[in-house]
């Protein structure tokens, strides 16, 4: 099932066996070379892997138990590439030539395959947003500690459709 990050960010994570609140979803860690979701930050110190999520609800996310939460450095790929490189949220988005497209505003991911589907960018200043665009995740060339570099040129950016509201994804 495809989900917008903006619809799940902040949702409570509940241990279904204990009916225990474990924290809220705060951020996403991805494999910088493949776009596969490695883990979700729960609270400020722990992560849960997509495989440990039992159910994605509209108002909560269920895991089996509190033992499903681990430290980020316990996940091999996060340790291998580093916390800053694998953390997705809020990164700058650049073209392959280095032109700034803005910051990552939102993204769509597939809970079945645990991969990114689209990236939504916008430029912001204080409370104003402009230049909203959507790019397929397959355009990711690389993810560095500070930015997501897309394999697009300036001409493709101009052709990129402005962000089109997607139908409500549940």
Going by pLDDT thresholds of 50, 70 and 90, the confidence category of residue 12 is very high
- Residue 45 and residue 43: Cα distance in Å, rounded? 6
Average of pLDDT values for 80-109?
A: 94
At 170, the pLDDT band (50, 70, 90 cuts) reads: very low
Tell me, rounded to whole angstroms, the distance of Cα 9 from its chain centroid.
Answer: 9
Burial class (CB in 10 A: 0-12, 13-18, 19+), 136: middle
Mean pLDDT of 145-167: 74
Quick one: pLDDT at residue 136?
94
- pTM of structure: 0.89
Integer-rounded Cα Rg, in Å, for the chain is 16
What was the pLDDT predicted at 161? 53
Q: What is the pLDDT of residue 129?
A: 82
pLDDT of residue 167: 46
Mean residue pLDDT across the chain: 90
Q: Which two tokens stand for residue 30?
A: 């991805």
Judge whether residue 154 has pLDDT over 80: no
What are the structural domains, with CATH classification, of the chain? 6-86 (2.30.30.240), 92-159 (2.30.30.240)
């Amino acid at each position: 099932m495809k989900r917008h990050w903006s619809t799940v960010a902040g949702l409570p994570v509940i241990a279904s066996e204990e009916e225990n609140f474990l924290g809220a979803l705060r951020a996403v860690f991805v494999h910088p070379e493949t776009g596969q979701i490695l883990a979700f930050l729960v609270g400020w110190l722990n992560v849960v892997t997509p495989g440990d999520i039992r159910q994605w609800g509209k108002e909560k996310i269920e895991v089996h138990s509190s033992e499903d939460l681990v430290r980020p450095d316990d996940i091999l790929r996060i340790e291998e590439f580093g916390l800053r490189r694998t953390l997705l949220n809020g990164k700058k988005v650049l073209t392959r030539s280095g032109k700034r497209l803005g910051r990552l505003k939102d993204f769509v991911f597939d809970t079945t395959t645990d991969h990114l589907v689209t990236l939504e960018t916008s430029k912001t200043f204080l409370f104003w947003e402009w230049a909203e665009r959507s790019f397929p995740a397959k355009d990711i060339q690389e993810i560095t500690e500070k930015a997501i570099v897309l394999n697009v040129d300036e001409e493709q950016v101009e052709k990129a459709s402005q962000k089109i509201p997607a139908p409500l994804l549940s």
